[in-house]
Structure 1
Amino acid sequence: MSAENPTHNAAADPWTGLVQRLRQHDQAAAREAVERLHPHIARIVATHRPRQEESADLIQESFLRVFSKIGQYRGLQPFPHWVARVTVNVCLTRMRHHLRRPVQLWSELGEAEQRAFEQTRQESPADADLSGARELVLRLLDSLKPKDRLLLTWLELERKSMAEVAALTGWNATLVRVRAFRARRHLRKAFEALESPTSRPETT
C-alpha cells in the first residue's frame, strides 16, 4: 500500500509551477530544480550510498532519474517527498550491485572491528572503540539486503519515525514494522554467526 497523502493540495504547493515547467523540458526550470533540490538529494545520498560509490555520481543519477520520470509525479505528495523516494531507489539499485555476502569468518574482520565485537560481549566496556564499532555495524549492515539495510539505517542510526520511513518508501506503517522486525532478525543472525566457534581460529 502507498503512503501518498490524500490531503496534499497540489494547487497550493510552491513546487507546482516548477514541476509544470519541468514537464515542458524548460532548461531554466531544470537549473532551478538542481539549485533548490541539491542539498536535499545530497543529504539522502550521503547517508545511503554504498561505500564504494562517489556521492557526486549518485546525485547526478538521481537528478537524471527525477527529470526522466517527472511525468510520473501525480502531485499526491509534496514534490520533495517524491524526489526523496526517487533518490532512495537510485541508492537501492546501487546497493544491490554492491551487495556483499554475509561476514562469516572472524578473519574477515579488521583489528578494530574485532576489538569492537569483543567489547559488545562485555557488560561495561571500559575503552570502547567507537570507530571500530561503527565499522563493525556498517560491515554487518552491508551484508543485508539493500532495503533491510536502509530500513535499519533510518530507524536505528538516524532515529527516523515510522511515519518518516513510510513517506520515504511508500510503505504503510504495518509493512514498515514487519520489515523492520525481519531486518533486525537478519542482522542478529549475521552477528551470531561471528559468535560461532567455527568462525574463530583455533587457539593453542
Structure 2
Amino acid sequence: MPPESRSTSSFAIEVPSALIARARAGERAAFEQVYRWFERPVFTLALRICGDREEASEVLQDTMLRVIDRIGHFRGDSPFWGWLRQIAVNEALMRLRRAKQQPDGLDLDVHEPADDHAPPPPAAADAAALQRALATLPASTRSVLWLYHAEGYTHEEIATLMERTASFSKSQLARGTRRLRLLLEPDTRSIQESAHA
C-alpha cells in the first residue's frame, strides 16, 4: 500500500454498483455518467504522461472506448475507479511506446539513491508552473513522477507498467524530482522575496 502521505488519486470516485450494472447492460446514459465522472482524471493523467493535449484527448477517447468494450470483464473484486485508471495508464504508456519516445535522455537503469517519501517540489501548488516544468522532462521521467506522486503507484507497479525495473523507476523519480526542484525553485524564491518586500 502507498504511504498515507501520498496524494489520493483523482480517480478515487465511488461508482455505485447499480450504475456499473446499467453500463454492463449497455445503457447509454450510464456510460455517459461514467464518462463525465472520469473525463478530467483520465485527461489529466494522459496529459502528464504524454505531454500533449491532442495525445491526451486521444488517450481519453481510447480509454473510454476500451471501458465500453471491456466492462463485462470487470469482476468487482477491486474498485471500479482502479480498474478504469489501469486502462487509462496502459493506453497512455502504449501511446508513448508507439511514438518511440522511449528510450530518452534519462532512461538509464542506474540505481540512484532516492527519498521515496520526499514531497513533490515546493512550487507544486502552482499548477501552471508545475505543468510547464513537467513539459520539459523526458516522457518516461514525467510518467514515473506522475504515477508515483499523483496516482500512488509503487516503484514495483511502475516497473511492471513501463516494462522496466524498480531501480529504473527509483532513478527516474530521483532525477525528475531534482530537475523539477531546479526548475521551480526560482519561482518559489521570487514569491518569497515579494512576500518579504
TM range (shorter): 0.5 to 0.7
Residue number among 102, 105, 110 corresponding to 2:104 in the alignment: 102
Q: Label 1:24 to 1:171 Cα distance change in 2 as closer, same or farther (>3 A).
A: farther
Distance change in 2, residues 1:102/1:171 (3 Å): closer
Shift of 1:72: 2.0
By how many angstroms is 1:98 displaced? 1.3
Which residue of 2 is the match for residue 115 of structure 1?
Answer: none
Residue correspondence of structure 1 range 26-105 to structure 2 within 5 A = 26-51=27-52, 53-100=54-101, 102-103=104-105
* Deviates further, 74-83 or 42-51: 42-51
Q: Taking structure 1 as reference, are residues 34 and 178 closer, same or farther at Cα in structure 2, changes over 3 Å only?
A: same
2:154 is aligned with 1:152: no
CA contact (8 A) 2:23 2:30 kept: yes
Aligned-CA RMSD value? 3.9
- Name the structure 1 match of 2:153: 165
- TM-score (normalised: structure 2): 0.53
Counterparts of 2:104 and 2:77 in 1: how far apart (Å)? 39
Give the number of the structure whose alpha-carbon radius of gyration is greater: 1
Describe the shift of the 1:54–1:137 C-alpha distance in structure 2 as closer, same or farther (beyond 3 A): closer
State how far apart, in whole Å, the 2-side matches of 1:47 and 1:103 are: 18
Q: Which runs of 5+ in 2 are unaligned?
A: 3-13, 107-128, 177-197
Q: Deviation of residue 50 (structure 1)?
A: 4.6
Q: Which runs of 5+ in 1 are unaligned?
A: 4-12, 105-129, 188-204
Is the 2:59–2:92 contact (alpha carbons within 8 Å) kept by the matching residues of 1?
yes
CA drift at 1:95:
0.3
Percent identity between the two aligned chains: 19
Matched pairs, number: 136
Q: Secondary structure at the match of 2:52?
A: coil
Distance 1:94 1:33, change over 3 A: same
With over 3 angstroms needed to count, the CA separation of the structure-2 counterparts of 1:103 and 1:176, relative to structure 1, is closer
| Contact map agreement 1:154 1:160 (CA 8 A) in 2 | yes
The alignment partner of 2:104 has SS state of coil
Inter-partner Cα distance in structure 1 for 2:53 and 2:38 = 24
